[in-house]
Structure 1
């Protein structure tokens, strides 16, 4: 049935606090039906976010009040309205799209937008890429407030944000002066709902869904069953002057995957064995791993809105999300191929001359260095993160005057445990001189397919009489990210001005503090090649190990022992205690530290509304002046007892380290212009130009540094620098847009160009002037004078490059008659290229790869149907290969992610207007994540299967 939407009711999007989580029918006072996933309500904060132009706001409200829609179509068509009447080039996803049929997180919902893609981490969309740029180039706000990060750097992990708690998400692809600084790629603005704009005086929605992950059957002990539960309430009191909104979203699901890993090369040429003169590039080894564990995310939202008069509105709101991810990896790792540590026979070479297969065996006695081994591994990647964001907002509107003021505080923390346990076969285990056994393995990498692996004596690795724990390492990563901010803007409408419809000015202040803490505990030595006195390989009690064999796609690989590392240590009276260590693990002190950033911005912007050659020209022009201050505090290794007394967590002390503070302050003038030329009522062209910047990834600005002395020179390592410049860019956009009648669809096409001045890379300077960077050079005791300047290993602003591309989208609803009128289609495509090249040796010889985050082709499509009783959507998201440094092997590695297409299906049936049944299947084809090194698909990185997930549940609303 058709519903004509009321102006007040529908002026801004639906379903706040995601009052509905399946698309089901709800009857209004006229008897017409709408989707509960589009519970009708407005959010005045969103209106000002979509456009500041008074005329554009009026046109948006007018359009929303006259379009007839039902069900899921309402989400699509409202999104079209926001895009059409916005001052900037933007893409929008509204609550019916997010909350009506909720994705795993906001990240999944955003990937339906043109030019937006996601990196799947542990099988879930997490980091967002926009127009070929990674998350470090994206500014993210919630209700206009900068969001802190749990990633340890700048990018936001969007799986932290339950889709059920977000009312609308806007991706700004062009900038305007009033937007918070920070988005070279774009700005993602998340918005929650205003309970005073709910269509009902009181509403309550409860959604419960059970989930099932088929991959769990291949991982022993994994639980395939999970659930999602959400409850949302909105109420209006005191004659609709007081609104209260409460939301809760709970998710539990298994964390399961299986992966085949080919490890990287170190870029060196090595003899394959002592009897051959043949040299080749070698991988470090390979891994086979099962991942198990569980994920638990709880999100909370609270909003109180007081509107004592039509002119004044006060809002207090909070958002909190806690995500606990217990992730364990068990399997086998054959490692230490390169460095003349093993002999290689029957080699199979890639096109680059890198070994991708052959027989690897222990070197003869006295030949080579550390011996390779087929290790049994037990890893723990358990991570606990939380995000809090809250504040107070005041809006005052009187005649032509409009004031918007906001004070906020946000905090994010992340604690990753990162445990690495290895066990190897030994002779003489338990004696004073245990020796690593001679071993061999055959392997073959098969590019983007699971490779072949076998071992000469596979039963050896499940025999507790021979296997001993060689090493147990714990490496916690602890991050805290805090923001305190204030912003205010004043807008004055100019209804009779022939050029400007309004003038707006404002100020913004943000204090941002980032703390990184590294800790460490290590028992023993991997392969026992560097024996630690008093820390021999440990025997493994039967109660701390279980024989595990592979199933499914990985069946046939050698069985292994699932190890309980803490239990093995406990059986020998040892308890791991990770702390900062100033003596033999001094990097834990050096890599700890803090960065303080201060932002002080002012802006002025004029909204345009003029007649040019008989057609209307709207948009805005303005300038933002941004002053940034960045200073870091850490420890510098000076040696010779020339520092201050440092006592670490083990009670050990050193005077070889001195506190260091370093940083800089800079000011940028950021002009912007957005022009919309209205050719007809349905056709318009857009042109935008702006200068933008993103602050350097905050973890690259730590000041801590280690050092060494060689030939009378003082050398510094660290790989980070608080003297980095921001990532500045100039960008230009040109778009054509055609809109169908009654907002039932749109066709858009556009081109964009970005010139990015620099990227952050690592560099080694020789004979570096340390004094110029504020780094003290200690005294050489042999001369009584400072050491000579030597190497400086740091980060720097490398040469930038160009980024250009095209985007096109097509959306249409209600294009068929009768029962098929509920059918709709949405598709988009983006093509992006860049001249940026990065050198890498991870595939063997030096090769050049592109810009991290850039997929040349990104596309998505969805077919949906709803008739008020039944709703369904089948969607596909495709991205071509891209680079990312999110693959971790001790440290982050820059790898190529292979192209992928992910299919999802969602459906809902309304039994009554209060009760509905919902079904979903995510990742229909069980699309794995595949990576490879150096742009060479033959050089396998990771092939990881996560399985498909099904949801079945019910929704109840009052």
Structure 2
């Protein structure tokens, strides 16, 4: 979409220094030169390509207000943000170029967490997935320069750490919707923007930012490198009498991946006899784990923009964005596993308040009793290479009352993740034809949200190469491709003399979205050597001394048993084995079933009127409109039909099968989505907002795969898969109301508001009995015994479960220049969001059934910052708090749904201008070394993960020419 009035574009160009990328300088409305900007955040109106802003009267007031701002640096940017807030049509929050470049942020995700009601999930210690108003990333639409962004996560949510903050000029969080916004954000829309070089305040600018980093946790992890760096270079130039603009940017980050973790694994909800000498039964966890994590992360981003404005009415822009993020992580330690399912004898048990065992002594059951318990040595590797490309051509034409914008784009994301899960165990008869797992024991005690205890009876056993053998080596690649081809255009006509509407706007949007998932697998051996066969024994492998190193613990984790750090590929190579993951149609058929593709096609129309009227002698602004969204979704995969009734498939090992048939399933639907946004101006400094809309988010793309496995029992055909292309979108009705008060001279604002969302459904897994497979196009194979199709049996799939309400309150306050003299540069901002929901789902991961809420919902989210800026020296201390929330990013053998405990993360930044061109910057992230802490269900005693990442310090310089 386009700007409502050209005056807003003029105001933006003259009022803001739209610098490109790195540490953008504040608008030079005075001769004072500032250093590194650490601009504040506020609810504002932006120049986003997919929104329309304020009435003509409001824009004139905005332009006038901006022209009077003479303060540079942090305070000046805060005050500009406060001015923009008054004239927004929607309820939204924004971070500007100076916010992003100046805050101590590793990615755009960190910058967004300073906004009210916005929080982040820390993955590997770094903000990644964003939650808005208690809803997870699957309910958020993300755009870059108005273009939908594909995902590197294999689902709908965006990994925002993929986007270098140095290359993003502005990011807006839309919390209320309007007809001109691309549909897809029940929680909200995050619109990122890159800079337009024609809006740069100077003809030529070159910015260089270089910072070295040091990770304080690296000293506790052997072979971990504590050093890292960030480097970015950005250039903007205007040529041909300011009609041609060129901008290029480069940003690279290298940092160590360092962590130590204590893991308590989940229960399966079953009751088991504790030991053979007692009939007592109890809930048991799967086990515990201690692990050291190391590795490195390298992110490289590129940006290029060419803007041509041959006349005052026409502008053509071509731009590209590319980001590559390589993450290589290893994990070494011990996993004491299989406490439950009668694999162990448990003595001296310690119980949680729910009756689940959280401590005791566990010993092996005899092999005759089916015992498969061991204190395993783990050697894990998680290597992920992700890329995002987003580019397109944009046209804007303004002629009198007519305004036209068209955009043609291509965006592509790919993710290549390789998960290596390998274990070693102690054996008798290692190297012989009949090795046997040794009997073992362990003591453990969970300590809730603190590091627990773990010890073994014979610690020397696990560092003795004569007894330790590599039991299993599994390689599991996950490859995803996500592509969007889109076109949008809008036409706006101004109505300067209309008493109600200032403009009308209409547009179309078309997007072809393709998604591909490709799975493969390689497995040598079996855990605890449980499944050798005469044709393929694959026994435990002896470990050469050169491929093992004894490793012990330091710091908070000192006292845990020492273990062997093993070189898995080298151990395989010493035995003439090379891991070669491929699709496997025989004993790992899930690799074929979970591979497939989804084709989504969106065709939207919208019509919107911009309101600028008078009601009871007060100005009323906003918009009203409707968006019509038509969506088709079809998935392609393989269905296991059995009995040779499928097509011939040959896998990567050369094995063949005719038990699988191609499957295509899907549906088409249309939604009518009205929206209303109103701002009633009570006084020059006070206004009330109201918005109402129907919104939707597409089902998570990975839940719409069509592949399905099957089994036959008691004459019934049963299907498993856990996904469904027949899912409905996640529809919701949303209401918002806000009150806003502004202090004189734009020196501050106080806002408060409430919101309510009625979400119709959430995607969950379900098992149907006696399901009519023919009704959804699944073929039931023939029973050879009867010559007729099998009877309908179980269907394990995804479905639209009953939804619920999400409601809350948000408040924020910002104030600058409240002290005289040299302290006039002191300011602060703070915000608080309270969110609740009536959605409660059962879980047995903590043992007995407890109830949990919505993933991503924290009842309390808050942030605060105190800042000082006098033009030469600036400093900022900030804190982000969120209460406990649910997520499926529990770090264990597999992802598990766990509750993340409340946390507060503190960051600090200071800068000093040596000259007008050079400044020195110091930052420290995570001042208090806040760990990530999780637990299962409603029991904080049932430890999930306690993970420490350490503090990260940066020291560097900014050069502006």
Q: TM-score band, normalised by the shorter chain?
A: over 0.9
Are 1:690 and 2:693 an aligned pair?
Answer: yes
Structure 1 segment 85-234 matched on structure 2, within 5 A: 85-234=87-236
The residue that corresponds to 1:488 in the other structure is: 489
Are 1:510 and 2:511 an aligned pair?
Answer: yes
Structure 1 segment 875-886 matched on structure 2, within 5 A: 875-886=878-889
Change (3 A) 1:7 1:482: closer
Distance (Å, rounded) in 2 between the aligned partners of 1:36 and 1:927: 27
Distance (Å, rounded) in 1 between the aligned partners of 2:272 and 2:638: 38
SS in 1 for 2:553: coil
- Cα RMSD (Å) of the superposition? 1.7
Distance (Å, rounded) in 1 between the aligned partners of 2:150 and 2:460: 49
Change (3 A) 1:53 1:597: farther
Q: In the TM superposition, what whole-angstrom CA distance separates every residue of 1:267-296 from its partner, at most 9, and x where no partner exists?
A: 100000111100000100000000000000
- Contact kept in structure 2, 1:102 and 1:163, CA below 8 Å: no
**CA apart distance, 1:618:** 0.4
Distance (Å, rounded) in 2 between the aligned partners of 1:253 and 1:61: 43
**CA apart distance, 1:245:** 0.5
Distance (Å, rounded) in 1 between the aligned partners of 2:102 and 2:403: 33
**CA apart distance, 1:731:** 0.6
The residue that corresponds to 2:375 in the other structure is: 374
Structure 1 segment 415-434 matched on structure 2, within 5 A: 415-434=416-435
Are 1:450 and 2:461 an aligned pair?
Answer: no
Distance (Å, rounded) in 2 between the aligned partners of 1:83 and 1:314: 29
Distance (Å, rounded) in 1 between the aligned partners of 2:517 and 2:572: 28
The residue that corresponds to 1:264 in the other structure is: 266
- Contact kept in structure 2, 1:248 and 1:299, CA below 8 Å: yes
Are 1:554 and 2:557 an aligned pair?
Answer: yes
- Contact kept in structure 2, 1:18 and 1:37, CA below 8 Å: no
Distance (Å, rounded) in 1 between the aligned partners of 2:768 and 2:474: 33
Which runs of 5 or more residues in structure 1 are unaligned?
Answer: none
Moved more, 677-686 or 95-104: 95-104
SS in 2 for 1:277: strand
Q: In the TM superposition, what whole-angstrom CA distance separates every residue of 1:872-920 from its partner, at most 9, and x where no partner exists?
A: 1000000000001122434321110000000000010000000110000
Counterpart among 361, 364, 367 of residue 366 in structure 2: 364
Distance (Å, rounded) in 2 between the aligned partners of 1:694 and 1:177: 15
Distance (Å, rounded) in 2 between the aligned partners of 1:552 and 1:889: 22
The residue that corresponds to 1:646 in the other structure is: 649
Counterpart among 797, 819, 837 of residue 816 in structure 1: 819
TM-score (norm 2): 0.97
SS in 2 for 1:209: strand
Are 1:409 and 2:383 an aligned pair?
Answer: no
Change (3 A) 1:48 1:517: closer
SS in 2 for 1:801: strand
**CA apart distance, 1:605:** 0.2
Distance (Å, rounded) in 1 between the aligned partners of 2:449 and 2:259: 17
Q: In the TM superposition, what whole-angstrom CA distance separates every residue of 1:208-244 from its partner, at most 9, and x where no partner exists?
A: 0000001000000000000000000000000000000
Counterpart among 935, 938, 954 of residue 932 in structure 1: 935
Are 1:865 and 2:868 an aligned pair?
Answer: yes
- Contact kept in structure 1, 2:35 and 2:911, CA below 8 Å: no
The number of equivalent residue pairs is: 948
The residue that corresponds to 2:5 in the other structure is: none
Structure 1 segment 915-930 matched on structure 2, within 5 A: 915-930=918-933
The residue that corresponds to 1:347 in the other structure is: 349
- Contact kept in structure 2, 1:47 and 1:57, CA below 8 Å: no
Distance (Å, rounded) in 1 between the aligned partners of 2:193 and 2:70: 24
The residue that corresponds to 1:519 in the other structure is: 520
Distance (Å, rounded) in 2 between the aligned partners of 1:791 and 1:306: 61
Distance (Å, rounded) in 2 between the aligned partners of 1:406 and 1:56: 28
The residue that corresponds to 2:337 in the other structure is: 335
- Contact kept in structure 1, 2:473 and 2:568, CA below 8 Å: yes
Distance (Å, rounded) in 2 between the aligned partners of 1:783 and 1:452: 59
- Contact kept in structure 2, 1:7 and 1:62, CA below 8 Å: no
Q: In the TM superposition, what whole-angstrom CA distance separates every residue of 1:130-172 from its partner, at most 9, and x where no partner exists?
A: 0000000000000000000001100000000011111111000
**CA apart distance, 1:26:** 9.3
Change (3 A) 1:550 1:129: same
Distance (Å, rounded) in 1 between the aligned partners of 2:717 and 2:59: 62
Distance (Å, rounded) in 2 between the aligned partners of 1:740 and 1:419: 57
- Contact kept in structure 2, 1:751 and 1:807, CA below 8 Å: yes
Which runs of 5 or more residues in structure 2 are unaligned?
Answer: 1-7
SS in 2 for 1:891: coil
**CA apart distance, 1:551:** 0.3
Moved more, 162-171 or 885-894: 885-894
- Contact kept in structure 1, 2:520 and 2:584, CA below 8 Å: yes
Q: In the TM superposition, what whole-angstrom CA distance separates every residue of 1:421-448 from its partner, at most 9, and x where no partner exists?
A: 1000000000000000110000000000
- Contact kept in structure 2, 1:242 and 1:304, CA below 8 Å: yes
- Contact kept in structure 1, 2:15 and 2:27, CA below 8 Å: no
- Contact kept in structure 2, 1:195 and 1:236, CA below 8 Å: yes
- Contact kept in structure 2, 1:16 and 1:192, CA below 8 Å: no
Distance (Å, rounded) in 1 between the aligned partners of 2:943 and 2:31: 60
Distance (Å, rounded) in 2 between the aligned partners of 1:416 and 1:183: 27
- Contact kept in structure 2, 1:15 and 1:37, CA below 8 Å: no
Counterpart among 819, 823, 827 of residue 830 in structure 2: 827
SS in 2 for 1:649: coil
SS in 1 for 2:938: coil
Change (3 A) 1:67 1:741: farther
